[in-house]
Amino acid sequence: MRLDSLTGLRWCAAFLVFCYHFAYEQVVSGTARHVYRLKELTYAGPSAVSFFFILSGFVLAWSARPGDTVTRFWWRRFIRIYPSHLVTFCLAALTMIWMGKALDPAVAAGNLGLIQAWIPNRNDWWFGYNGVSWSLSCEFLFYFAFPFVIPVVRRLTAKGLWAVVAVGSLCVALYPFWIPDIARATGWDAKYLLYVLPPVRLAEFVIGISLAFLVKGGFWRGPGLVASLALCTATVFGVVHVMPYDFHWAGCTIVPFVITIAAAARADMRSEPSPFRNPYMVYLGEISFAFYLVHEIVIFSVRHFFRMHQVTVPLTLHVGLVASISLFGAVLLHEYVEKPGVRLLSGKAVARFCAG
């Protein structure tokens, strides 16, 4: 069964990330007051990555194929993700050359190998080249673990599934309290421990897997879509702002995101009204991965062009321009790289890989 509302919600999360990056990275447009307001409005942007990680586990568990082999699953995830990553890496490298920046071969190798998120205290590794691809480093851990995790979760009773979702969410919410001690013991900075380190983010992925079985089995008992969205909105644009900084990565939003994903999936199962099932929203959700991969390259490129040519435009026009170019690039990447890549590398290629 298709869960179109979750696809539409994916676009909302991707657009929040875009707005956050634009607010904190464009630095050439708008008055100080307007830029400050935009930063305040998008302050919770990094938490959207948590939404992606929960949703990733949910969708993979929901669509898991009976009798699927480990190698076949890994190959499908690889061809779904890597061609677009490779193209945007090359685009980012060309952009850096145009900007006159040095290309570090070690960082490039880490980015291409998607191991950059495993390097402690190295912002240049995490966010080098196409910076947003650090999250794919986490996703590759999730994909590796999924075939081994799902048989265990599948055997859990409804109470066991509830325990995983509840305890997992509680750990994510309370984890920032432990960070000072962990940081002192390891020498790793808080951002790495809270936001970048792949094993830490695995918790959100496993929560998503367990949540999928709860919803699919009819065991979920939570608020409806309207109430869930209201809680999400209040948290993202309100609660996050009054909590300590370390909670804005995922601690504040884990519960609202969990119940919203469950509510949207249940709404689709019951054919209840959902604004995210609109065909336009669904298509935007389908290209959201491509949009996520291209948007930061566009932000930096437009910023550099404006600086080179001393161009000044209103903040709203700048946002619209960058968003439009990013959207156009996302359509091209989705239609001419992502989809053809899956078609080209599936079929016989899967059989050869799995046989090998």
Indicate the residue type of 140. Answer: F
Distance of alpha carbon 65 from its chain centroid, rounded?
23
Q: Are 4 and 277 in contact (CB under 8 A)?
A: yes
Answer whether residue 356 shows pLDDT above 50. Answer: no
The CA-based diameter of the chain, rounded to the nearest angstrom, is 63
| For range 208-222, the mean pLDDT | 96
Q: Which region, left, alpha or beta, applies to residue 88 given φ > 0 means left and ψ of -120 to 50 means alpha?
A: alpha
Q: 336 is written with which tokens?
A: 């001419």
Separation between Cα atoms, residue 112 and residue 119, nearest integer Å? 14
Separation between Cα atoms, residue 192 and residue 12, nearest integer Å? 25
Tens digits of residue pLDDT in 238-264: 999 999 999 999 999 999 999 999 999
Gyration radius of the chain over CA positions: 20
Q: Are 43 and 248 in contact (CB under 8 A)?
A: yes
Q: Which domain holds residue 141?
A: 4-355
Q: Write the burial class of residue 236 (CB in 10 Å: 0-12 exposed, 13-18 middle, 19+ buried).
A: buried
Counting the structural domains of the chain, the total is: 1
Q: 73 is written with which tokens?
A: 């699953």
Q: What is the pTM of this model?
A: 0.95
What pLDDT, on the 0 to 100 scale, is given for residue 44? 94
Torsion on CA atoms 50, 53, 55, 57, rounded to nearest 10 = -150
Per-residue pLDDT band for 352 (boundaries 50, 70, 90) equals: low
Q: Percent of the chain, pLDDT > 70?
A: 97
| For range 162-191, the mean pLDDT | 96
| For range 35-47, the mean pLDDT | 93
What pLDDT, on the 0 to 100 scale, is given for residue 345? 86
